[in-house]
Amino acid sequence: MTALEACVDGIGLVGPGIANWPDGARMLTGETPWVRSPTRLPPLQCLPSAERRRTGAVVRLALTAGLEATERAGVDAARLPAVFTSSGGDGENCHEICQVLASADRQLSPTRFHNSVHNAAAGYWGIATGATAASNALCAYDASFGAGLLEALTQVVVEGTAVLLIAYDASYPEPMRSARPIADAFGVALVLSPKAGAASLARVVTTLGRAPADRMPDAALESLRTSIPAARSLPLLAQLARRTAGSVVLDYLDGERLTVQVRPCL
């Protein structure tokens, strides 16, 4: 059984009722109760104003999580390769395009079109941070977090480089929302590195497995975990927040799960 090992050097988190990682960590350890409220995304200062006007909430979501993780890790975002993973990308933009294409005139806005690519967040991330290393844009439906984690870990292990993983998902508007209900916006980012450093929070060792996925003990947080694909990461985040050694099982593909052993760095 191949084990993929890396250190977690920084975490970014934003979601319903969660403003950032320390905020989320307090809720995941039970120090403060989690109360669902609509995800609030701060304005993005890192993009030139022309680009900022062109970006939707989904890009803001991904970049907010990514910037928090790199700041907490104390690394220069411009130097890191990045792995973006999302089940649906920008659903709002997709809806607008489909609506125009179903109308009589079919005149698409060029900005809508270039924002429709699944790697739009990765593209804006490069423009915002100046990162010229490889970036990836993945999708694995409900398994998107797990797929992103595996891609990021294989980069850490094989290329021997630190990698930024950003998993993010946001709601579709109707009528797509009924076909694919995603409760709200949720973004999580991890800076993963090959060697423990001053910023390292924990060492994580990941293997493929078939044990049933962990559920959140708190019913409200469990509903958050299952209602947004990127929130399938919550058991791992909770273990990291506890700052204790332990093992969690994350949902991945049908019939396959990821087991992640977490050992805090002192």
* Closest to 62 (Cα-Cα) out of 37, 34, 38, 90: 90
Q: How far is the CB of 9 from another protein (least distance, A)?
A: 20
What's the chain's length in residues?
Answer: 266
Total of chain residues touching another protein, rule CB under 8 A: 68
Position 76 contacts another protein (CB under 8 A):
no
Position 135 contacts another protein (CB under 8 A):
yes
CB 92 within 8 A of CB 58: yes
Q: How far apart are CA 38 and CA 58, in angstroms?
A: 14
Q: How far is the CB of 203 from another protein (least distance, A)?
A: 17
| Choices 35-43, 113-121, 186-194, 215-223; region in contact with another protein by CB under 8 A | 113-121
Q: How far is the CB of 155 from another protein (least distance, A)?
A: 6
Residues whose CB is less than 8 angstroms from the CB of residue 75 and which lie 6 or more positions away in sequence, other chains included:
9, 10, 162, 191, 199
Angle (deg, nearest 10), helices 57-73 and 120-129: 50
Spell out the long-range contacts of 42-51 with Cβ–Cβ below 8 A and sequence spacing 24 or more.
Answer: 44/128, 46/128, 46/129, 47/124, 47/127, 47/128, 48/127, 51/124, 51/127, 51/128
Encoded one letter per residue, x for contact with another protein by CB under 8 A and - for no contact, window 87-106 reads: xxx----x--xxx-xx---x
Residue closer to another protein by CB (options 157, 185) is 157
Residue closer to another protein by CB (options 5, 222) is 5
> Which residue in 30, 123, 246, 264 binds another protein (CB under 8 A)?
123
Other beta carbons less than 10 A from residue 103's beta carbon? 9
Q: How far is the CB of 124 from another protein (least distance, A)?
A: 7
* Closest to 14 (Cα-Cα) out of 184, 173, 130: 184
Residues whose CB is less than 8 angstroms from the CB of residue 55 and which lie 6 or more positions away in sequence, other chains included:
44, 47, 115, 124
Q: How far is the CB of 158 from another protein (least distance, A)?
A: 5
Q: How far is the CB of 210 from another protein (least distance, A)?
A: 9
Residue closer to another protein by CB (options 31, 174) is 174
Q: How far apart are CA 7 and CA 5, in angstroms?
A: 7
Interactions with another protein, residue window 208-237 (CB under 8 A): 208
> Which residue in 26, 36, 79, 118 binds another protein (CB under 8 A)?
118
Position 80 contacts another protein (CB under 8 A):
no
Position 144 contacts another protein (CB under 8 A):
yes
Position 64 contacts another protein (CB under 8 A):
no
Tokens of 86: 């999302």
The binding site for another protein (CB under 8 A) comprises 2, 4, 51, 54, 78, 81, 87-89, 94, 97-99, 101-102, 106-110, 112-120, 122-124, 126-127, 129-141, 143-144, 147, 150-151, 153-155, 157-159, 174-176, 178-180, 208, 253, 255-256
